[in-house]
């Protein structure tokens, strides 16, 4: 029986940021050493604690091996609950099943997970790390998230589509299946290097064999034959890769879960879209996405027993629903909700939530933004500010506008820039400078009454313009009435949206009588005028309206509008009409005013509440259209390194959707990216606006409104000068750099035997040729401790670009421009001298 006294069990639990792992051994929690992280025995259960630091909620996972016993699983679940209590009840709890781990769990092990045979319950002993008495074959699978499972050391375990690591202790041979792709090979290289560095102290050799060209690696093939024997017959065909996450499920149900006389009671509360006020802090709830994920929410005022039993009730719920045993389970407390949970709700406000510059207020369908003076230099220096404000600059760049006429592009008279008609489609090219380079944004504005042919032509012509600028423009779909902030700003307070009609020269415009326009905005960066139905019921006491008749233009000021709004209304009236203006205060309207509107009628007279639009945490997904269905795999705790050039990625910042297109992205997925984004919005469980702006960004041309959502973005990683003219070219120099940066000791001609001394040998030209070393091998080491061939006075040449910048605080190019005394000073501080 397990003791209730947690003091001894949890006395070594650290509150410092980072990862801690325990395995369950004889019903006790036993710490796993750091060099064993990422290795999981199939017969065991593990508890994984990740502390983020900075006052953020920790994450506690319990991992269930496929061969683990029921007793171990039960013990792990109890320890997780006790650990949660020990940490104050704030951590998010996750139940992980081998082979079905969550994106967050996998994110802790960037180089992949290794499943090992055996475990305590099976009677097998755990193999100590940092020894060479090893012989195993690892079957490596996965494009984004890598797993490696131990399989029988025989040729019959191989197939043509995957990658296999033959680990012999002092030597590791990577065999690439003929049908494996570049990304899979790179991931396997990183895993092999990780095994070498963590388990062998960096003293093991790595060799590479291309399965389709085995004759090019005769020495390595001799080694493999010596271990595996002669191969007879053909290898098996490729097996399917790991499946992406489940199709996004917009069928979300919220249940109140409680016990009544010892029975589990599950009572449905609501279906999507959910609202935050459904959650009462005195209760516990389950949010069920039709079995794809089950999330439990524990109210802060819920009883101790209810909170303690939350995880067990989730497991019981899964059984009661006959869901698969590997169904994802997450348990979170009131105030410690995950981004995924918050995204299930129409809106979400964190307690004590503070706003940065430019607080946004949602009022109807037009956003109102507090006045902010944008400093273009600050926006470029602080991309996180640009991202939050959705502004790449201060809107002082150049603007060019085309209209779609007869399915072709026709230039618009600059005197009419800012006037958009609902029966038309437009292309707006915005040019600005950043870091002495020109950047482009191409807006595609779609009128509500434009024909399907015109909308299609607009997209087609956008591709043509994109081609003229060598793929550099960021493309933004703008649906009439849903114009993003920067679009408003570039027209300097003169943006007018006409409900219908066309702006084509010579077009016959039928007599419409009185026309009514609603004006919203407090400065030239956030103001627009929208035509509404010419009826009194369209008025709103909070706004400025312009009523244009054949004789006069009335400027109507509602009682709720402020001085800034009146100023912008006056400026907009000059754009709309050259007629005399008559100011009309609400409540003092002349009879002619009501006659023009068809008579008096009730309208919105309540003071509009300025409801803050709470910021949502951004989420990144890998897009996939495998097996004919749109699927996405979420990337947890994302970074720039997660943007793989083979991918199409979707970044959801709630107010906007970014589609990032990698250089070597699959052409079909690239073509389908737009439909994928619309499908994502349409099926979102929170009932998202399907007209949310969609922005296409290509690798190497990322604007600050995109990069600002990533921590420590490296602007040199994809230098535009290094990219081919079209970002979709598969064989760009970017691809070559990615391959060489992890290619140390991977030459097919490498020669070694399993019994040879461990250790890496580096050629004198290794650094200059793009072959890099693990920094741990060269930082703070005496010359005698360095790998053979490393020049002690030029250690920085053996660092990757990322490691170079992390250690020296500057780019390689800028470092070379420094005087020698300054270079020496930086190298000493970095331990490279």
What pLDDT shows up at residue 325?
79
Query: pLDDT (tens digit, 9 = 90+) per residue, 488-537?
Result: 999 999 999 999 888 888 776 666 788 999 999 888 888 999 999 899 98
Cβ contact 659:677 at 8 Å: yes
The pLDDT tens digits for 664-699 are 877 777 777 788 788 888 888 778 888 889 999 999
The band of 133, judged by pLDDT with boundaries at 50, 70 and 90, is: confident
The answer to whether residues 302 and 284 touch, using CB atoms and an 8 Å cutoff, is yes
The pLDDT confidence band at residue 722, using thresholds 50, 70 and 90, is: very low
Model confidence at 640, pLDDT cuts 50, 70, 90, reads confident
pLDDT at 745: 37
Percentage with pLDDT > 70 across the chain: 81
pLDDT at 752: 40
Assign 364 a pLDDT band (cuts: 50, 70, 90): very low
CA angle 239, 242, 244 (to 5 degrees): 140
Nearest to 333 by CA among 75, 683, 90: 90
Sequence-distant (≥ 6) Cβ neighbours of residue 761 within 8 angstroms:
745, 787, 788, 789
List, as one string, the DSSP characters of 237-299.
PPPPPPP-SPPP----EEEEEEEETTEEEEEEEEESSB-GGG--TTSEEEEESTTSEEEEEE-
pLDDT digit string, tens, across residues 271-326: 877 888 888 888 888 888 777 788 888 888 887 777 777 778 888 888 888 888 77
What is the per-residue pLDDT for 408? 93
Within 10 A of 356 (CB to CB), how many other CB atoms are there?
11
Cα 502 from Cα 412, distance rounded (Å)? 12
| Cβ(718)–Cβ(699) below 8 Å | yes
**Cα gap 591→595, rounded to integer Å:** 6
pLDDT digits (tens, 9 = 90+) for 190-231: 889 888 887 787 888 999 999 888 898 889 999 999 989 888
Residue-level pLDDT at 158 = 92
Given pLDDT bands bounded at 50, 70 and 90, which one contains residue 742? very low
Is residue 767 scored above 80 in pLDDT?
no
Higher pLDDT, 402 or 277: 402
Contact 21, 34 (CB under 8 A): no
Cβ atoms of 35 and 92 closer than 8 Å:
no
Q: In what order do the strands lie in the sheet with 328-333?
A: 28-31, 18-25, 45-51, 59-64, 92-97, 328-333, 293-298, 284-288, 253-260, 263-271
Mean pLDDT of the chain: 78
Contact 174/746 with Cβ under 8 angstroms? yes
Phi-psi region of 436 (alpha: psi -120 to 50; beta: other; left: phi over 0): left
Helix (H) or strand (E) holding 667: helix 667-682
- What is the structure's pLDDT at 719? 56
User: 448-489: per-residue pLDDT in tens?
Assistant: 999 999 999 998 999 899 989 988 899 999 999 889 889 999
Q: Is it the case that residue 105 has pLDDT exceeding 70?
A: yes
In this prediction, residue 380 carries a pLDDT of 58
Note whether 371 and 564 are within 8 A (CB). yes
Nearest to 545 by CA among 512, 523, 573, 564: 573
């Amino acid at each position: 029986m397990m003791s209730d006294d947690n003091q001894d069990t949890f006395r070594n639990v650290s509150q410092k940021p980072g990862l801690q792992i325990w395995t369950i051994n004889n019903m006790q929690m036993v710490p796993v050493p750091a060099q064993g992280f990422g290795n999981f025995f199939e017969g065991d259960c593990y508890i994984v604690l990740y502390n983020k630091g900075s006052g953020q909620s920790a994450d506690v996972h319990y991992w269930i091996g496929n061969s683990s016993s029921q007793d171990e699983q039960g013990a792990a679940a109890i320890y997780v609950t006790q650990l949660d209590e020990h940490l104050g009840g704030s951590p998010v709890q996750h139940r992980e099943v081998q082979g079905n781990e969550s994106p967050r769990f996998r994110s802790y092990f960037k180089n992949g997970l290794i499943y090992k045979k055996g475990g305590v319950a099976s009677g097998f002993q755990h193999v100590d790390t940092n020894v060479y008495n090893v012989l195993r074959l690892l079957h490596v699978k996965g494009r984004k998230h890598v797993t490696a499972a131990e399989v029988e050391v025989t040729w019959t375990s191989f197939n043509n589509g995957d990658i296999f690591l033959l680990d012999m202790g002092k030597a590791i041979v990577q065999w690439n299946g003929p049908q494996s792709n570049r990304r899979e090979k790179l991931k396997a290289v990183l895993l092999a290097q990780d095994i070498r560095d963590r388990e062998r102290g960096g003293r093991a050799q790595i060799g590479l064999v291309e399965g389709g060209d085995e004759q090019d690696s005769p020495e390595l093939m001799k080694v493999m034959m010596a271990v595996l024997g002669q191969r007879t017959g053909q290898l098996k065909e490729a097996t399917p890769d790991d499946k992406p996450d489940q199709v996004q499920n917009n069928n979300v149900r919220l249940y109140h879960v409680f016990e009544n006389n010892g029975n589990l009671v599950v009572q449905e509360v609501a279906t999507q879209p959910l609202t935050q006020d459904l959650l009462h802090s005195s209760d516990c709830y389950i949010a069920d996405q039709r079995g794809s994920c089950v999330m439990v929410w524990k109210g802060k005022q819920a009883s101790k027993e209810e909170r303690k039993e939350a995880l067990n009730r989730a497991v019981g719920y899964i059984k009661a629903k006959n869901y698969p045993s590997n169904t994802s389970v997450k348990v979170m407390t009131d105030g410690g909700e995950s981004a995924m949970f918050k995204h299930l709700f129409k809106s979400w406000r964190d307690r004590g939530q503070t706003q940065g510059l430019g607080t946004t207020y949602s009022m109807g369908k037009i956003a109102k933004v507090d006045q902010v003076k944008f400093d273009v230099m600050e926006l470029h220096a602080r991309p996180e500010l640009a991202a939050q404000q959705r502004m790449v600059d201060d809107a002082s760049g150049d603007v060019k506008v085309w209209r779609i006429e007869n399915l072709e592009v026709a230039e618009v008279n600059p005197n009419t820039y800012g006037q958009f008609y609902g029966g038309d489609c437009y292309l707006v090219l915005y040019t600005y400078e950043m870091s002495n380079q020109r950047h482009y944004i191409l807006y595609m504005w779609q009128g509500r009454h434009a024909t399907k042919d015109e909308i299609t032509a607009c997209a087609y012509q956008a591709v043509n313009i994109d081609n003229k600028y060598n793929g550099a423009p960021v493309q933004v779909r703008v649906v009439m009435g849903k114009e993003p902030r920067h679009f408003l700003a570039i027209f300097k307070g003169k943006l007018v949206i006409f409900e219908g009609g066309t702006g084509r020269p010579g077009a016959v415009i039928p007599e419409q009588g009185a026309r009514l326009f609603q004006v919203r905005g407090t400065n030239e960066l956030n103001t627009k005028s929208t035509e509404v139905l010419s009826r009194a019921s369209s008025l709103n006491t909070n706004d400025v309206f312009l009523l244009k008749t054949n004789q006069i233009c009335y400027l109507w000021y509602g009682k709720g509008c402020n001085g800034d709004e009146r100023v912008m209304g006056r400026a907009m009236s000059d754009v709309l009409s050259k007629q005399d203006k008559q100011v009309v205060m609400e409540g003092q309207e002349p009879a002619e005013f009501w006659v023009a509107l068809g008579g008096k009628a009730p309208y919105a007279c309540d003071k509009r509440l300025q409801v803050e639009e709470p910021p949502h945490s951004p989420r990144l997904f890998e897009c996939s259209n495998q097996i004919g269905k749109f699927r996405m795999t979420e990337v947890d705790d994302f970074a720039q390194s997660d943007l793989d050039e083979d991918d199409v990625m979707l970044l959801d910042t709630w107010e906007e959707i970014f589609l990032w297109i990698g250089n070597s992205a699959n052409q079909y997925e690239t073509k389908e990216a737009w439909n994928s984004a619309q499908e994502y919005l349409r099926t979102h469980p929170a009932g998202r606006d399907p007209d949310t702006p969609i922005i296409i960004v290509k690798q190497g041309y990322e604007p600050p409104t995109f990069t600002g959502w990533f921590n420590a973005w490296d602007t040199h990683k994809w230098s535009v000068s290094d990219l081919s003219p079209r970002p979709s070219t598969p064989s760009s120099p970017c691809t070559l750099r990615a391959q060489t940066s992890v290619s140390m000791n991977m030459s097919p001609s490498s020669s070694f035997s399993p019994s040879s001394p461990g250790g890496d040998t580096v050629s004198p030209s290794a650094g200059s040729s793009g072959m890099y070393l693990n920094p741990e091998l060269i930082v703070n080491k005496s010359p005698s401790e360095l790998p053979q061939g490393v020049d002690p006075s030029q250690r920085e040449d053996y660092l990757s670009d990322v490691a170079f910048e992390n250690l020296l605080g500057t780019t390689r190019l800028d470092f070379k421009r420094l005087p020698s005394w300054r270079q020496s000073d930086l190298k000493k501080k970095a331990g490279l001298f």
